[in-house]
Amino acid sequence: MDALQSSALSFIDDMRALASTRLSQEVGTLRSEAHERVALLYPSPYATGMSSLGYQTIYREIHGSGRGADRAFLPEDVPAWRASRAPLFTYEGERPVSDYAVVAVSVAYELELAGLIDSLELAGIPPLAEERTNRHPFVLVGGPLTFSNPLPLAPFADAILMGEADQTIHTALDVLFASTNDRHAALVALAREVPSAFIPALHGDRMPPVAQCADELLPAYGQITTPNTELREMFLVETSRGCSRGCHYCVMRRSTNGGMRIVPFETIFARIPSTAKRVGLVGAAVSDHPRIAEIVERLADEGRGVGLSSLRPDRLNDRFVAALRKGGYRTLTTAGDGASERMRESIQRKTRERHLVRAAELARAHGMERMKLYMMCGLPGEEDADIDELVRFSTELSKIIPLALGIGPFVAKRNTPLDGQPFAGINVVEHRLERLRRGVRGRVDVRATSARWGWVEHVLAQGGQAEGRAVLAAVHAGGKFADWKRAFNALPTERPRRALAIIE
């Protein structure tokens, strides 16, 4: 054995040991001897995958139906794994992902497409569906991205379950396991049996509507707690699904899947195990639950830590913030999204300055250490004057409580009123970020998402199958921003070149 082989073997031994350690630290891992097993792949590393309530829900759903689900994740160090030449394996089964009849994948957002391609290639599965044969697994994709624009995923998926898959996953697996020897027949049957299944080989670009699961299946709730995620040892439970508001940029607005479905107070608590020391309340609009203050108060009174996945500033009041503080909150995190009142008005975001001032005052009054505020940059019609307003206003907020701003570039999503709006331009976004940083220097901490990767996300959010295929070229070229830019620029379509023209 030469030195290279020996180091590859030692790397994989380390990866197996890491998986085994993570498994041993989990509470709630499901194991079964079921004959029909699915590799449940998350195209980002373990810490991200295990923070996804949707991924955990599908894991439990598959086990509950009498089948087995073994998890696999994008490795933290993809180049090292690739160099080892070892096949990607599942955590529970320690089997190569390519051994399974079905690989089910949950994709949250556009940039995870690169992780999907890397994961399939590490597993030895051709990433392009058209290159797979009967000896390869079916690649069945679902997840939050299906609510906006899954078209760039289409070249890589045998089938895409649109929308909520809590129920459709079962019918889809029934069909696929019944016809594992004939790929085409399986896909035809899937299209017939599951109206929300998008089969690119049969449907082209015509996507069916998203599915909505029965209200009785709500809430989604976590299966596994682990110390190895950012949400350490936190039990996740859904308090509502969807949103009743209508922010113009948001995929989860009221027009998506029937608005907001509220989980009753008693049902939420019936799902929370008595052993859960920390509880994460999950939903697009958690703080819009009519009994949210009471829920947080009760959890805090029971001595549990509490986390909320979203907090609207106009919902805060004395009782609510007191409960959050008692539940362990030290930073009040909320969002305003538009840089100025004019911008917020234009995107139908109902947050006003007075809501944010009140939030800061409440946070200070209840002994929180700081406030974190998410905003977007580069919305349609935005000007330097809007950024100047944000400078003025965030400076005022910072006099009430230490403030951090989290800024993301605006990316227009399909199925929203702002669909089709162009990206502001990398130079424009960087210029405005610099103006903001200069304006608040020394007073407010500014953390911004890269404008360049915002542009990549924009091309995919607005793109089709050609843009998806370009991701393969970008990943193979090394995955740096220049590789993505070159791959998109080589496309014959107008959209990405138009977007690129803005940055050149």
Q: How many residues bind ligand SF4 (CB under 6 A)?
A: 8
Site string for ligand SF4, 270-289 (x = CB under 6 A): --------------xx----
DSSP tag of 204:
T
241 binds ligand SF4 (CB under 6 A): no
By the rule CB under 6 A, 292 interacts with ligand SF4? no
Of 136, 253, 304, 458, which one interacts with ligand SF4 (CB under 6 A)? 253
Decide if residue 407 touches ligand SF4 (CB under 6 A).
Answer: no
- 151-184 burial code (b ≥16 CB/10 A, e <16): bbbbbbbbbbbbbbbbbbbbbbbbbbbebeeebe
Q: Would you say 8 or 377 has its CB closer to ligand SF4?
A: 377
Where does this chain touch ligand SF4 (CB under 6 A) — which range of 94-102, 243-251, 369-377, 474-482? 243-251
CB-count burial class (<10 Å; 0-12, 13-18, 19+) for 99:
middle
Measured from the CB atom, the residue of 308 and 499 that comes closer to ligand SF4 is 308
Closest C-alpha among 162, 23, 7, 11 to residue 90: 23
- Could you give the 3-state DSSP secondary structure of residue 198? strand
- Mask: binding to ligand SF4, 314-353, rule CB under 6 A, as x and -? ----------------------------------------
DSSP 8-state class, residue 98: G
Residue whose CB is less far from ligand SF4, 286 or 471: 286
Considering only 40, 173, 250, 262, the residue that binds ligand SF4 (CB under 6 A) is 250
Contact 403, 393 (CB under 8 A): no
Q: Minimum Å distance from CB 478 to ligand SF4?
A: 35
CB-CB contact of 167 with 214 (8 Å): yes
Question: Least distance (Å) from ligand SF4 to the CB of residue 382?
Answer: 17
Residue 242 CA: distances (Å) to CA of 85, 196, 283, 412: 42, 18, 7, 19
By the rule CB under 6 A, 247 interacts with ligand SF4 = yes
Q: Tell me which of 113, 237, 243, 391 binds ligand SF4, using CB under 6 A.
A: 243
Identify which range of 127-135, 157-165, 239-247, 413-421 contacts ligand SF4 by CB under 6 A: 239-247
Range 7-26, binding ligand SF4 (CB under 6 A): none
Q: Which of residues 96-155 bind ligand SF4 (CB under 6 A)?
A: none
- Does the footprint of ligand SF4 cover residue 245 (CB under 6 A)? yes
Q: How far apart are CA 286 and CA 280, in angstroms?
A: 10
Q: Please give the C-alpha separations between residue 34 and each of 69, 93, 477, in angstroms, as whole numbers.
A: 9, 11, 40
Give the interface segment with ligand SF4, choosing from 154-162, 193-201, 247-255, 416-424 (CB under 6 A): 247-255
Distance of CA 422 to the CA centre of its chain: 23
The full DSSP string for 392-441 is HHHHHHHHHS-EEEEEEE----TTSTTTTPPP--HHHHHHHHHHHHHHHT
Query: What is the distance in angstroms between the CA of the first residue and the CA of the last residue of the chain?
Result: 51
Nearer of residues 253 and 495 to ligand SF4, judged by Cβ:
253
Residues that bind ligand SF4 in the complex, under the rule CB under 6 A: 243, 245, 247, 250, 252-253, 284-285
